[in-house]
């Protein structure tokens, strides 16, 4: 898998739930980079996958968030996220 910025993924998959793994954080600018593991429209599926990945503990840090909402004027594109 290829590492990509979470902001880019959020713009690429609008209104989809995204699971990213093997996260690294940039201290300056608070940016997150990782590998896209799953893209789905089902929030429950995304959170269930995160629970499984955390239990297996072989994908590093894991994050789930929702992609950019083109109907909302929020800067940055990520409207919901959590790092588990």
pLDDT at position 53: 92
The model's pTM = 0.77
Is the predicted pLDDT of residue 77 greater than 70, yes or no?
no
Neighbours of 30 (CB within 10 A): 7
CB 43 within 8 A of CB 57: no
Comparing 69 with 41, the larger pLDDT belongs to: 41
pLDDT at position 45: 96
pLDDT at position 69: 77
User: Cβ contacts of residue 53 below 8 Å, gap of 6+?
Assistant: 19, 21, 37, 59, 62
Give me the residue spans of the domains in the chain.
3-83
Question: pLDDT tens digits, residue range 9-59?
Answer: 999 999 999 999 998 887 766 788 999 999 999 999 999 999 999 998 888
């Amino acid at each position: 898998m290829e590492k990509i910025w979470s902001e880019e993924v959020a713009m690429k998959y609008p209104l989809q739930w995204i699971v990213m793994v093997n996260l690294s954080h940039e201290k300056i600018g608070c940016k997150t980079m990782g590998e896209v593991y799953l893209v789905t429209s089902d929030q429950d599926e995304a959170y269930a996958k995160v629970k499984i990945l955390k239990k297996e503990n072989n994908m590093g840090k894991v994050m789930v968030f929702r992609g950019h909402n083109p109907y909302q004027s929020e800067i940055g594109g990520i409207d919901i996220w959590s790092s588990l």
